[in-house]
């Protein structure tokens, strides 16, 4: 089946630094990818939708200058958390839309970000 590889699986960074999270579709082309954020014991909140070759569409309340999303190829989307602060600590999960399968969505394994 379809596989989405997300790296890193966990990262600790200092406050004020930037962190990049990668999401790759390994055996299919993903024209659309989605980024979610999940707080402990809570649901997944959609942050943004990215389409290959175009600017990402951010959900209301998500700072586009803080959470930079790039989808430069059909197999790679990246989320960069800029000038990270402790409140950005969370679990980030990407999802790729698989066009070969009707309503096929494949999720990455997630990235645990801790800002200290």
Partner 1 sequence: AQSVTQLGSHVSVSEGALVLLRCNYSSSVPPYLFWYVQYPNQGLQLLLKYTSAATLVKGINGFEAEFKKSETSFHLTKPSAHMSDAAEYFCAVSDQAGTALIFGKGTTLSVSS
Binding site for partner 1 (CB under 8 A): 4, 6, 32, 34, 36, 42-44, 46, 49, 91, 93, 95, 97, 102-103, 105, 107-110, 112
Query: In angstroms, rounded to a whole number, what is the distance separating the alpha carbons of residues 42 and 83?
Result: 24
Q: Are strands 90-98 and 32-38 parallel, antiparallel or unpaired?
A: antiparallel
Closest approach of Cβ 85 to partner 1, in Å?
22
Nearer to partner 1, 83 or 115 (CB): 115
Two tokens, residue 111:
């990235």
Closest approach of Cβ 112 to partner 1, in Å?
6
What is the chain's alpha carbon radius of gyration, rounded to the nearest angstrom? 13
Nearer to partner 1, 4 or 79 (CB): 4
Query: In angstroms, rounded to a whole number, what is the distance separating the alpha carbons of residues 101 and 7?
Result: 24
Nearer to partner 1, 49 or 82 (CB): 49
| Contact of 11 with 111, CB cutoff 8 Å | yes
Closest approach of Cβ 4 to partner 1, in Å?
8
């Amino acid at each position: 089946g379809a596989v989405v590889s997300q790296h890193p699986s966990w990262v600790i960074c200092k406050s004020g630094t930037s962190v990049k999270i990668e999401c790759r579709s390994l055996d299919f082309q993903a024209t659309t990818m989605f980024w979610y954020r999940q707080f402990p014991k809570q649901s997944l909140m959609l942050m943004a939708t990215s389409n290959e070759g175009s600017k990402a569409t951010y959900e209301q309340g998500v700072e586009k200058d803080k959470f930079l999303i790039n989808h430069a190829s059909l197999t790679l989307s990246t989320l960069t958390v800029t000038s990270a602060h402790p409140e950005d600590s969370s679990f980030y999960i990407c999802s790729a839309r698989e066009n070969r399968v009707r309503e096929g969505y494949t999720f990455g394994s997630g990235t645990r970000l801790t800002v200290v």
